[in-house]
Amino acid sequence: MSGHESAEDLSYGSYLRLDRLLTAQQPRSRPEHHDEMLFIVQHQTSELWLKLVLHELRTAADDMAADDLGRALKRLARVKQVQRTLIEQWSVLATLTPPEYVQFRGALGSSSGFQSYQYRAVEFVLGNKDAGMLEMFADDEQGSRLLDEALHTPSLYDRFLRLLARRGFDVPGDLLARDVTLAHTYHPGLVPVLARVYADTGTHWDLYETCEELVDIEENVQLWRFRHLKTVERTIGTRPGTGGTSGRDFLRRALDLTFFPELYAVRTAL
């Protein structure tokens, strides 16, 4: 599509760049195996949804920084709907049986979903940061730039805690001044702050709603991880994953990762 194309000449296909989008599926198996198309489309569509999730999460964090919590909540509601789509997509890939997958698995080489820089960026924006991940994308200019920006930008949770402080809540100072390039870890001093929100939901309704939206988002991430694990188990069993990952064991360990530990701890404290 030309940058000078008029609205009158704009077609559905040119607006969506379908000439590029629908020719981006290039199976590598020889002879070409029928089911490799499913594998490619599954992962390409996931990357498109992840692009939207990143778009919404980063803008929601900016909204919180601008004290526009209502707009941030609208964006988080959209993120949750996209997450549900991503979770359900695993049922499509689960139709790929072990004998079908093995026919083209060798054509994947060292490529692996572990190398998805957009997924890593989502984890960074939610607070699970790891500067070491940037080494994996040292040869990928776009991935390196995206992750470096996410690493050095306060996470969505950082933005929310700063908003709480501006609202007069006694958020521990070391949390407000922490190094945002590090992963957030559990801070017991934050639990009584959140308990105050939960103890008076009528007064602090938008803050309470935000807490619950964040819990929903974390739960959806965990459901996505679990569906990923079960799909891998039914497709390759306990074999190592492509790209040198440990496959099932790696995915099982990921289920223990958490973004907002105090939002779970506060339930015990109430």
**Residue stretches of the annotated binding site for heme:** 228
Query: Environment class of residue 3 by beta-carbon count within 10 Å: exposed (0-12), middle (13-18) or buried (19+)?
Result: exposed
For residues 87 and 142, give the distance between their C-alpha atoms in angstroms, rounded to a whole number: 26
Secondary structure (3-state) at 228: helix
Give the sign of the dihedral formed by CA 31, CA 37, CA 40, CA 44: positive
Secondary structure (3-state) at 239: coil
Secondary structure (3-state) at 163: helix
Long-range contacts of 156-160 (CB under 8 A, 24+ apart): 156/57, 156/60, 156/61, 156/64, 156/125, 156/126, 156/127, 156/214, 157/126, 157/127, 157/184, 157/214, 157/259, 157/260, 158/127, 158/184, 159/61, 159/62, 159/64, 159/65, 160/64, 160/210, 160/214
For residues 46 and 213, give the distance between their C-alpha atoms in angstroms, rounded to a whole number: 22
Give the CA distances from residue 155 to residues 16, 58, 151, 187, 227, in Å, rounded to whole numbers and listed in that order.
31, 8, 8, 16, 25
Annotated binding-site residues for substrate read 39-43, 101, 105, 242
Annotated binding-site residues read 39-43, 101, 105, 228, 242
